[in-house]
Structure 1
Amino acid sequence: MKHRIPLLVGAALLVGAASIPAQAVESAPRAVLMTKGHGKKACSWGVVCLYENNKLNKGARAPILMASQNIRRLEKYRFNDRASSVCNHTTNPVRLYEHDDYKGSSEKLSPSQCKNVSASFNDKASSVKFAS
């Protein structure tokens, strides 16, 4: 009898998890996510997206880093010095910084703004910080 109770509880948890719609699991908030895609629609609301290519990866499924938190080192996600365009789908301004730990020159994105980074900042972002 002792062995059946944990087994029944485990089975009940599995059944409960199986009843959660796939969409609810996919829309669960994540702090940082790497994906591939292009255009504004590839960037979820509530995150800033860094695109590997200009014009939001214009027509090609290329790497996108999505973040809903500050990132001190983009190298941690293998996205250091790779951003050519960005989309800020948040209600706060966001800054991209040239160096780790939010140092060096920066480029500001207003809320809901999508753009190519300036030519002088192309492939130079190393950290991302949300303004409050």
Structure 2
Amino acid sequence: MRRSVLLAAGGGLLALTGALVSPAATAAPLDAFVIQSWGKDNCQEGYVCLYEDWHFNRNQKDWKILLTRKDLGNLGGDFHMDDRTSAVFNNSDRTVKLYPGKYHMGVPLTVGPREAFDFTNDDSLESDMYNDKYSSLKFTTGGNDH
């Protein structure tokens, strides 16, 4: 008798925990994350993508892309992208500003919706001004600022 009571109680507990952990639950999309890939095609709809190397990572699948749809005051830390951006693609309907200083300090580069910049490594003045210079970003218009 004692065993059946414990088994029944255990079965009830199992049923209770099963109800709490439902396989049908869907996780919310991440607001910022890093993948290893290349090309603008790997920048998901609604995100701004910062590429570790010029030409949108030049077909190198092991280079980083930081995807974000929220303000980031420090591209270093968890993302390891401080002063490493060599291309950017804004695949969102919002305008974003890239800042040379952490926490949105300095004169920003404005990137409009669906706009892309490639800071090619060609010794040009543009490359020197923009390549590997950004430490934070902030969305300025449209959408939900998460």
TM-score, with length taken from structure 2: 0.78
Indicate which of 1, 9, 15 corresponds to 2:16.
9
Deviation at 1:12, TM superposition (A): 4.4
- Find the counterpart in structure 2 of residue 101 from structure 1: 103
More helix by share: 1
- Find the counterpart in structure 1 of residue 5 from structure 2: none
- Find the counterpart in structure 2 of residue 68 from structure 1: 69
Point out where structure 1 has 5 or more consecutive residues left out of the alignment. none
**Residue correspondence of structure 1 range 83-98 to structure 2 within 5 A:** 83-98=85-100
Deviation at 1:10, TM superposition (A): 2.2
Tell me the matched-pair count.
Answer: 125
| 8 Å contact kept, 1:34–1:65 | yes
Aligned-residue sequence identity (percent) comes to 28
- Find the counterpart in structure 1 of residue 30 from structure 2: 30
Deviation at 1:58, TM superposition (A): 1.5
Q: After superposition, what is the alpha-carbon deviation per residue over 1:50-87, rounded to whole angstroms, capped at 9, x for unaligned?
A: 00011111211110101110000111221100000001
Q: After superposition, what is the alpha-carbon deviation per residue over 1:27-56, rounded to whole angstroms, capped at 9, x for unaligned?
A: x42111110111111100111000001111
CA–CA separation in structure 1 for the residues paired with 2:101 and 2:9:
58
- Find the counterpart in structure 2 of residue 47 from structure 1: 47
Point out where structure 2 has 5 or more consecutive residues left out of the alignment. 1-7, 120-125, 142-146
TM-score, with length taken from structure 1: 0.85
Counterpart AA for 1:69: K
Tell me the secondary structure at the aligned position of residue 56 of structure 1: helix
More strand by share: 1
